Amino acid sequence: MTEVLVAGVPATLLETLREELPDVALSFESSGEGTLAKLGDRGWAAVVLGCTLSDMAGIAVLQELSTRAGPRIPIVFQANGGGRAAREEALRLGARRVVQGEADAHSLAGVLRGVLEEDLRRPCIAVDVTAAIGSLWERFKNIAFERLDSVEAAVVAQLEGRLDAEARRRAERDAHKLAGSVGTFGFTEASRVARDIELLLQRSPTPEDTLRLSDLAIALRRALERPPATGPAVKERRSSQAAGQPAATRTEAVERRRKPANGRAGVTGGAASPPPTEQAGAPTPRSASPSTAIPVAEPAPQPVRAAGAAAGSRDTRPLLLVLDADIEPLDEDGETGRLRVLCAADPEAAYIALGAEKPDVVAVDLRFGGTADRGLALLAEVNRRAPLARTIVLTSGATPTERLEVARRGGSMVVQKPVTLRKLVDLAARMAGRPQGGPGRVLVVDADEAVLARASAHLRAPELEVVTLPDPQHFWETLERTRPDVLLLAEEMPGISGSELLGVIRGDPRWAGLPVLFLTDGRDGAVDHAFAAGADDIVDKPFAGPELRVRVESRLERLRLRRSIAEVDALTGLLNRQRALTAIGALLQAAERSRSPLTIVLLDIDGLGEIDAMFGDAAGDAVLQRLAATLREDLDVSDVLGRWQGGTFVLALPGASVEDAIQRVRQARDRLRDGPASDQDGRAVAATFGAGVASYPADGRDAATLLHAAEQALRAAKAEGPAMILPARWPDTSAPRHTESVDVVLVEDDVALAGLLSHTLLTRGYTTRCIADGEEAIEALAGGTPRLHGRVVILDVDLPGRDGFEVLRTLARDGVTERSRVVMLTVRATEPEVVRALELGAFDHIGKPFSVQILMQRLRRALGD
Amino acid sequence: MMRTILIVDDEEDSRALTRLSLEMVGGWTVLDVETGVAALSVAESEQPDAILMDVMMPGLDGPATLERLRARPMTRHIPVVFLTGRARSEDRSRYAGLGVSGVLPKPIDPMDLPRRIAAALGWSANAA
């Protein structure tokens, strides 16, 4: 029976109401306090708020109710005089109807009945409206996510201390709009967080604000990616799940042999969520948003477009492209989770997919298309089209020669067939690195096994891998092997303390950025100690499980934020130096394979220092941004453009000759010079740049040499005056030869090892030259004016030509060991051999096999870094 | 008589939601425009019963648009309700000085917005 609370009305009125409304259960309450209390505990259909409450005015009760959360109970309010103003005030505070105090029981009953009937109709409206709101959210959520991106970018900029007032105001506006719109869609938490961010951005944030902002930004994304806890969107979600098959649990089966009619031969998509049917249409949702609301009309798997540009626009998961005719598709409910997966069953489909997609990982069957030659050709094509992708080569018993070929063509890994798609997805997920919001790995180091057990029990989750280590003696291997995203480290351990370990971690550039949480027993000074050693956070033992989890997750989220911007130069939006180097390395491999030229240009703004000094840093920044924009204008898809350092940019143009490159750079220079850039006062700042051009293979065969050549050419160009563009070896090589100086000269005849090492060195910013022969090493490094100087020479012993000991003796004789530090890297590691090497003048000795990490540490020591 | 209400909001999503709420829950006829300038001409030609206007808009913002509506003989009588995410009390009194009929907070509750507009305008609570 419908229950109505009637408060503060005369007893006679109540009697009449009971007579008029026999089908309604009326409960009486005399006080305002009592009314407020009763309204909390039962599902009242309506409330009559009369004007004879014993303790407070009816309007005060309304006021209090208007601040409460939860569903609004329809209120019939009896105004005690006060005219139109009182009536309006009551309506403003949420009263459904206002009747005058002198209204008789009969008309009050009529109003109440009207309200109750109206409310019976309302649920129908509510369902329609929530459904309509659900579909509106589908249409507009990308706007919300764009605003979120903007807010996040600003927060990241603020974390890095480069958020200017203009960008702050933009972000404030976006936060404001987010707060307004997402709340309406039912994301009340996100709305509240966005409002907090907006408030913080209204003024220049203090350091505390900055930290708070970063936490809020994380909370905001979380709140938006989670389906709203209350409100219309969630209702919509439920109803559609009841109606049809939930989209998220259905995987598009990977139909490899099917030839679709739409010309996309054999290319099919396999993605858990969102389903490709959505991908092809409107931009789709982050995984957890209420997108699952859309019922999928046709549950059967269907051939889909090779998820082209439209699909890519929102689905930011890394893409695994499988080029193999034998791979069995995932079964119906197979999850590809963190990855998008595309399969191509024949070479034609493979080429189409390579043209349309930018895969992060490509798995290629070596016998794809019949023979190993065809497979290798395809691999070369993969490297040409997607130079930044990692490649997995699938083979059933490749010959050693084929394996070598695979390595030379850029294959990152060889996997024995047969292999399941599931396994490939796992491998690829690991290779593609941790994508946005993807799983993380935590390493917990504590000698107390009970602590380890508790920590892993609380932390372990589908998206969080927990590795525990009870013995700190194995710390380094474990760190190297597990590559955690977050490290939990106990302070008190036998043999070595957590802060000692942390000191070493922070000294290693590879791990310097690793978030470290300290587990301490809260002894005096432990906290200071841990922070001094570089801990990011402290957790007291015994810890509360949920708290530990929140702290770890917060670190992971921060890391994700930071990673998303780490690859891009903040000012210009171009690749940063590291990324540019990696990309150039890949382009070089491709150039080598395809025997085509690759030209590298270093460009440097003329007089950037003067521009900064005369017009201010902002003007200088504007010039840099303009140069970036100008260079981007005629950039080809495969070209690489990065910020090298300061006012210097690097441009790598595959397929371009020196002449082509000079022509293009000249045009860019003229466009830059002719377009106006202005300083703060609106005065135009003219800008030009000088450039040095070096080309593969004429000026060098590896990235270090080429960049060095381009740098020399740039220096020569700058010496000539502004706006000069010069090729390498200018004026020609007849000039007296200079000693080329690099960080590391690698004398090593094992091609694979040399490749690995020079890649490792190059990606850490060290210039490297490789020599594979003892004789050649002596020719290059020794003698009166050597051709090559290395700060460090890494020297193998077993070399063709002359052996390493002979090379070392000659280098010592010519005084090279005084200018260069020689590090022996050899299997010859018996004590007499080590002693002999050191006596001959070697600086250090590393036995093979070695770990790259140890080598890098010893090398840094040798370099005196 | 069927009420007609004009929505002025530069944000497409917000506009769509407000329209949905006013049409489906309020049962009103809805017109919408993106800018204050467009609002001036549509208000003049269509003579809506009320205008629901976002405060923060590029170009002519809510208050500036309201001032111009009040300055024109053809639109000075049309009641205006503001929607704003940031309604401080000093803003409220400034808006009141401009002759606004009500200031409603964002985010809106689509189920409740028509009732609140009606209350602000003194329309019958029976909405439609």
Of A133, A180, A198, the CB nearest to B20: A133
- pLDDT on residue A297: 33
A102, pLDDT greater than 90: no
Q: What is the mean pLDDT of residues A457-485?
A: 82
Which two tokens mark A137? 């959210």
Inter-chain Cβ pairs, chain A and chain B, closer than 8 A: 82
Of A96, A143, A188, the CB nearest to B13: A143
Q: How confident is the model at residue A758 (pLDDT cuts 50, 70, 90)?
A: confident
Whether residue B3 contacts residue B28, with contact meaning beta carbons closer than 8 Å, is answered with yes
Which residues in chain A have Cβ-Cβ distances shorter than 8 Å to B120?
A: 92
- pLDDT on residue A263: 36
Identify the H or E element spanning A661: helix A658-674
Express as a percent the part of chain A with pLDDT over 90.
7
| Whether A181 and B107 lie within 8 Å, measured CB to CB | yes
- pLDDT on residue A562: 55
ipTM of the complex: 0.73
What is the number of H-type helices and E-type strands within chain B?
Answer: 5, 5
Whether residue A650 contacts residue A639, with contact meaning beta carbons closer than 8 Å, is answered with no
Other CB atoms within 10 Å distance of the CB of residue A829: 16
Q: Which of A93, A127, A169, A184 to mutate to test the interface with B (most CBs of B within 10 A)?
A: A184
Which two tokens mark B27? 């049962």
pTM comes to 0.32
Q: How confident is the model at residue A648 (pLDDT cuts 50, 70, 90)?
A: very high
Please provide the average confidence, as pLDDT, over all residues in chain A: 75
Distance (Å, whole) CA A185 – CA A135: 10
Place of tokens 């100086």: A741
Sequence-separated (6 or more) residues with CB below 8 Å from residue A515? A485, A486, A487, A536, A537, A555, A556, A558, A559
Q: How many angstroms from the chain centroid is the CA of residue A763?
A: 20
A165, pLDDT greater than 90: no
A274-301, pLDDT tens digit by residue? 333 333 333 333 333 333 333 333 333 3
| Whether A125 and B108 lie within 8 Å, measured CB to CB | no
What's chain B's Rg over C-alpha atoms?
Answer: 13
Q: What is the mean pLDDT of residues A311-336?
A: 67
- pLDDT on residue A438: 46
Interstrand relation of A319-323 and A340-344 (parallel, antiparallel or unpaired): parallel
| Whether B122 and A84 lie within 8 Å, measured CB to CB | yes
| Whether B13 and A140 lie within 8 Å, measured CB to CB | yes
Sequence-separated (6 or more) residues with CB below 8 Å from residue B57? B8, B9, B10, B35, B36, B65
Sequence-separated (6 or more) residues with CB below 8 Å from residue A629? none
**Residue closest to A795 by CA, chosen among A832, A759, A840:** A840
Q: How many residues does chain A have?
A: 865
Binning chain B into helix, strand and coil, the percentages to the nearest 5 are: 40, 20, 40
A46-73, pLDDT tens digit by residue? 899 888 888 888 888 888 887 665 556 7
B20-50, pLDDT tens digit by residue? 888 878 888 888 898 999 899 889 888 999 9
Q: How confident is the model at residue A684 (pLDDT cuts 50, 70, 90)?
A: low
- pLDDT on residue A747: 93
Binning chain A into helix, strand and coil, the percentages to the nearest 5 are: 50, 15, 35
Q: What is the mean pLDDT of residues B65-69?
A: 92
- pLDDT on residue A408: 57
Phi, psi of A166 (to 5 degrees): -65, -50
Sequence-separated (6 or more) residues with CB below 8 Å from residue A313? A283
Q: Which of B52, B103, B111 to mutate to test the interface with A (most CBs of A within 10 A)?
A: B111
- pLDDT on residue A822: 93
| Neighbouring C-alpha atoms within 13 Å toward the C-beta of A763 | 14
Whether residue B6 contacts residue B46, with contact meaning beta carbons closer than 8 Å, is answered with yes
- pLDDT on residue A327: 78
- pLDDT on residue A703: 87
More confident: A246 or A789: A789
SS3 labels along A12-73 = HHHHHHHHHCCCEEEEEECCHHHHHHHHCCCCCCEEEECCCCCCCCHHHHHHHHHCCCCCCC
Distance (Å, whole) CA A210 – CA A25: 56
CA distance A83 to chain B (A): 12
- pLDDT on residue A683: 55
Q: What is the mean pLDDT of residues A5-19?
A: 86
Interstrand relation of A598-605 and A648-654 (parallel, antiparallel or unpaired): antiparallel
The residue type found at A285 is P
Least reliable range by pLDDT among A359-373, A437-451, A501-515, B56-70: A501-515
Of A84, A98, A184, the CB nearest to B110: A184
Distance (Å, whole) CA A708 – CA A769: 11
- pLDDT on residue A301: 33
Q: How confident is the model at residue A487 (pLDDT cuts 50, 70, 90)?
A: very high
Other CB atoms within 10 Å distance of the CB of residue B75: 23
Phi, psi of A651 (to 5 degrees): -130, 125
Place of tokens 């070896």: A729
**Residue closest to A201 by CA, chosen among A169, A177, A230, A231:** A169
- In the three-class reduction of DSSP (H, G, I as helix; E, B as strand; rest coil), residue B77 is classed as coil
Whether residue A689 contacts residue A603, with contact meaning beta carbons closer than 8 Å, is answered with yes
Q: How confident is the model at residue A808 (pLDDT cuts 50, 70, 90)?
A: very high
Helices (DSSP H) in A474-576: which residue ranges? Answer: 475-482, 498-507, 526-533, 545-566
A422, pLDDT greater than 90: no
Report the range out of A253-257, A350-354, A443-447, B17-21 with the highest average pLDDT: A443-447
**Residue closest to A513 by CA, chosen among A470, A472, A558, A578:** A558
Phi, psi of A346 (to 5 degrees): -145, 160
- In the three-class reduction of DSSP (H, G, I as helix; E, B as strand; rest coil), residue A171 is classed as helix
- pLDDT on residue A650: 94
Place of tokens 């070697």: A842
Cα B23 to Cα A183, A774, B2, B91: the distances in Å are 20, 85, 11, 29
- pLDDT on residue A602: 95
Distance (Å, whole) CA A781 – CA A402: 34
A458, pLDDT greater than 60: yes
Place of tokens 């050597």: A786
Place of tokens 């292999």: A419
Q: What is the mean pLDDT of residues A8-33?
A: 85
State the Cα angle at A183 between A180 and A189, rounded to 5°.
120
Q: How confident is the model at residue A714 (pLDDT cuts 50, 70, 90)?
A: very high
B64 and A CB contact within 8 Å? no
Other CB atoms within 10 Å distance of the CB of residue A585: 21
The residue type found at A735 is A
What's chain A's Rg over C-alpha atoms?
Answer: 35
- Peptide bond just before A736 cis, omega within 30 deg: no
Of B86, B112, B116, the CB nearest to A176: B86
Q: How confident is the model at residue A116 (pLDDT cuts 50, 70, 90)?
A: confident
- pLDDT on residue B119: 85
Which residues in chain A have Cβ-Cβ distances shorter than 8 Å to B122?
A: 84, 88
Distance (Å, whole) CA B97 – CA A701: 75
Distance (Å, whole) CA A285 – CA A273: 9
B97, pLDDT greater than 60: yes
Q: How confident is the model at residue A226 (pLDDT cuts 50, 70, 90)?
A: low
Least reliable range by pLDDT among A366-375, A460-469, A556-565: A556-565
A231, pLDDT greater than 50: no
Least reliable range by pLDDT among A3-12, A95-104, A108-117, A690-699: A95-104
A649, pLDDT greater than 70: yes
Which residues in chain B have Cβ-Cβ distances shorter than 8 Å to A97?
A: 125
More confident: A686 or A353: A353
CA distance B108 to chain A (A): 6
- Give A343-402 as a DSSP string: EE-SHHHHHHHHHH---SEEEEETTTTSSHHHHHHHHHHHHHH-TT-EEEEEESS--HHH
Cα A111 to Cα A711, A731, B100: the distances in Å are 87, 98, 31
CA distance A149 to chain B (A): 17
A555-579, pLDDT tens digit by residue? 776 666 555 444 556 677 777 787 7
| Whether A176 and B110 lie within 8 Å, measured CB to CB | no
Distance (Å, whole) CA A491 – CA A493: 6
Other CB atoms within 10 Å distance of the CB of residue A174: 24
- pLDDT on residue A603: 95
Distance (Å, whole) CA B74 – CA A758: 78
